[in-house]
A and B are shown apart, each in its own frame.
Chain A
């Protein structure tokens, strides 16, 4: 036993995710049935009590998010964020491929809680097969009658990481350039087409049916007390088992690498691990005996983020990896705000210089100043997070940088 705990993925490959009947046979749509007998406020209370926090990366209380939606607004929307773009992340795809009906049920429960009649799933353009899968799944759920008058439409993105940011995602559904909006107003008050909108990640929605079915206390008792439940992780890099796992949130990062991951390839030593995708911090080996939950990760200056775990062995050139990550952000910045548009561009320029052996110590200092300002002054999470991998590699692996300087 490797310590996995499967809730969302319990019936992976045992049921057809497109078929509502399959899901119903294993207990599906019970949560929705229960929710229909509850008052909206009771549903929100139950979700609050479960202490479920957003699985997209920000870790905000889901029940709280739902409670911000004004009760009496005539039109409201439920939006599912399936734009997972963090490099090394594919857990939302796996959840859809294994258990798409749970996502639909979660959205339907949210719709009851906030009083919405329409939902959108924003699926990244890289997953056309998931768009087809979801459309079939929705069709099947409609035929089975479980969604009643709740309508779900799938929209496909077109290659823009920034659309994982909830307000950029909303802009994109509206058929516009995916540029983030300033907040406030938050989507809960003024979202899609200006009306109250709840935007949650696939994994967050997929947790909801189980919370309703088995009760908030049950969910709250799993994993880390302040970030309970399970988390689907995807492992990449120099690891023996580069695959996905679902673990309780108090699972140790070291166990992710050495138990689930089967250790480092070729029996080599760990150089660093980056958790949460390209926007995540790099964690040195001395910090890996930490629980993966949101708060424990924060305490070591990292973030759980999307749950991607990117492992580098001792032979890896971390400056080269960080340079590649700088290129990612330069490519994905939407260009709206100055710190991010110009910052990601200049960051990549300086990193290329250093990586090519033409950088100076001054470049390194300039990167750190720029990094500070981008984190504090950028408009959205992209620009705020972009410098983190660079900053943390300089912090933990300064000697690797020094070796490359002129």
Chain B
């Protein structure tokens, strides 16, 4: 164990604890832009800097291990000045349009500017010119708002494993880019939207949700994705009794199967909910036309027809095809039905195709 002093408070933490975590244990609220507990460390935003007695420079707490006897100030004059200047530098490259931004009210840059009273940037000059026209249906890439935390790159590589994006160029010309700067659909992107999940500002937003309601305007309903049996937790954004978007829940306890990660269907494919084409009741073809019937009638009809087919043509003339949208347990029951009741091994699953 290691004992150190943070803002005058003595704390004892296990060896190997980062200074950031130690500060948080001590109750200090340390701002971060590039840090994400699930991603590799970058140490690049420098917002988490703290002052450590005896050190000439400010120390990025996220990448520095806590050491025995450290004397740490988390809101010293120098620390506040550094954070303010960093925010001003970011504001100078950030297209400021909070009034129409999806992430208004849910934006770390906004929060920290509020916290440190950064109204405007003294470094305003050349305006950002990084917007990426990308005609894919899901992800808008407005790098005029990008603050270069690189969390999207790390999430793409480390959570999804798609490696679709990386940095292009260097210095001030560095920008998030696919190989050859192509659109996402011509890259290895799988449109999982994990990049949107980790983006701390409004640089990456869901085109499907755009303009339909900001997070603070919506009611949140935690649920489980219905697309497959994995059981991903997601949070529906609801406005006026309509689903207008999907959030990730990254808390491991609330979202044990996926910790916020989703696939293209879970994140972007919720428009079926209010679709007029959605099937809401079983249909049976009568005289060449599909007619709505009760579940009882539909099941009776299915059982009857299965029996008829089995009697006439034998068990192996029937095949059962199961779905990823059902759970493992349901799939188990279906194979049981196929083998024990119908009497065939002709059973398969859509995930195999």
State if A and B touch, Cβ cutoff 8 Å: yes
CA distance A177 to B153 in the complex (A): 14
CA distance A372 to B79 in the complex (A): 11
Residue B171, interface by CB 8 Å: yes
Are A341 and B60 interface neighbours, CB within 8 A?
no
Residue A375, interface by CB 8 Å: yes
Which of A333, A362, A366 makes the CB contact (< 8 A) with B170? A333
> Are A345 and B167 CB-contacts (below 8 A) given A338-B45, A339-B86, A370-B85?
no
Residue B254, interface by CB 8 Å: no
> Are A334 and B89 CB-contacts (below 8 A) given A182-B43, A346-B123, A370-B123?
no
- B interface, over-half SS: loop
14 contacts between A and B (CB under 8 A): A177-B167, A184-B65, A335-B167, A336-B44, A337-B45, A338-B44, A338-B90, A341-B171, A341-B174, A342-B172, A343-B89, A344-B172, A376-B78, A377-B57
In the A-B complex, list the 4 residue pairs whose CB atoms are closest, starting with the nearest.
A335-B174, A342-B89, A182-B43, A345-B172
Q: How far is the CB of B50 from chain A (nearest CB, A)?
A: 11
CA distance A372 to B100 in the complex (A): 35
Residue B173, interface by CB 8 Å: yes
Contacts from B to A (Cβ < 8 Å): 41-47, 49, 56-58, 60, 63-65, 78, 81-82, 85-86, 89-90, 92-93, 122-123, 125-126, 147-148, 167, 169-174
CA distance A147 to B60 in the complex (A): 42
Q: Give the residues in chain B near A339, CB-CB below 8 Å.
A: 46, 82, 85-86, 89
> Are A334 and B92 CB-contacts (below 8 A) given A366-B123, A377-B58, A379-B60?
no
Which of B64, B85, B92, B173 makes the CB contact (< 8 A) with A335? B173
Residue A201, interface by CB 8 Å: no
Which of B64, B81, B147 makes the CB contact (< 8 A) with A372? B81
Residue A324, interface by CB 8 Å: no
Are B82 and A335 interface neighbours, CB within 8 A?
no
Most buried by A among B82, B90, B92: B82
CA distance A27 to B41 in the complex (A): 49
Residue A300, interface by CB 8 Å: no
Residue A146, interface by CB 8 Å: no
Q: Give the residues in chain A near B64, CB-CB below 8 Å.
A: 182, 184
Which of B41, B81, B89, B169 makes the CB contact (< 8 A) with A182? B41
CA distance A253 to B262 in the complex (A): 64
Residue A160, interface by CB 8 Å: yes
Are B57 and A332 interface neighbours, CB within 8 A?
no
Which of B45, B90, B171 makes the CB contact (< 8 A) with A330? B171
CA distance A350 to B148 in the complex (A): 22
Q: Give the residues in chain B near A333, CB-CB below 8 Å.
A: 170-172
Most buried by B among A332, A341, A344, A366: A341
Are A342 and B45 interface neighbours, CB within 8 A?
no
Q: How far is the CB of A212 from chain B (nearest CB, A)?
A: 34
Are A335 and B170 interface neighbours, CB within 8 A?
yes
Residue A384, interface by CB 8 Å: yes
Q: Give the residues in chain B near A362, CB-CB below 8 Å.
A: 122
Which of A184, A330, A345, A377 makes the CB contact (< 8 A) with B86? A377
Within 8 A of B (CB), among A332-377: 332-339, 341-346, 349-350, 362, 366, 369-370, 372-373, 375-377
Q: How far is the CB of A164 from chain B (nearest CB, A)?
A: 14
Q: How far is the CB of B344 from chain A (nearest CB, A)?
A: 55
> Are A373 and B81 CB-contacts (below 8 A) given A182-B43, A339-B46, A342-B89?
yes
Are A376 and B172 interface neighbours, CB within 8 A?
no
Chain A minimum-CB-distance residue to B124: A346
Q: Contacts A335-B170, A339-B86, A375-B57 given; 14 further ones with Cβ under 8 A?
A: A177-B170, A182-B43, A330-B172, A334-B171, A338-B147, A342-B89, A342-B92, A346-B89, A349-B126, A362-B122, A373-B85, A373-B86, A377-B85, A379-B60
Q: How far is the CB of B55 from chain A (nearest CB, A)?
A: 10
Q: Give the residues in chain B near A182, CB-CB below 8 Å.
A: 41, 43, 60, 63-64
Are B148 and A338 interface neighbours, CB within 8 A?
yes
> Are A344 and B171 CB-contacts (below 8 A) given A339-B85, A376-B57?
yes
Residue A404, interface by CB 8 Å: no
Are A341 and B148 interface neighbours, CB within 8 A?
yes
Are A384 and B44 interface neighbours, CB within 8 A?
no
Q: How far is the CB of B20 from chain A (nearest CB, A)?
A: 12
> Are A369 and B41 CB-contacts (below 8 A) given A335-B167, A342-B172, A345-B171?
no
Q: Give the residues in chain A near B85, CB-CB below 8 Å.
A: 339, 369-370, 373, 377
CA distance A359 to B90 in the complex (A): 22
Q: Give the residues in chain B near A378, CB-CB below 8 Å.
A: 46
Within 8 A of B (CB), among A267-313: none
> Are A373 and B148 CB-contacts (below 8 A) given A338-B44, A342-B89?
no
Are A366 and B122 interface neighbours, CB within 8 A?
yes
Q: Give the residues in chain A near B78, CB-CB below 8 Å.
A: 376
CA distance A11 to B133 in the complex (A): 61
Residue A265, interface by CB 8 Å: no
Chain A minimum-CB-distance residue to B67: A184
Chain B minimum-CB-distance residue to A347: B123
Q: How far is the CB of A112 from chain B (nearest CB, A)?
A: 32
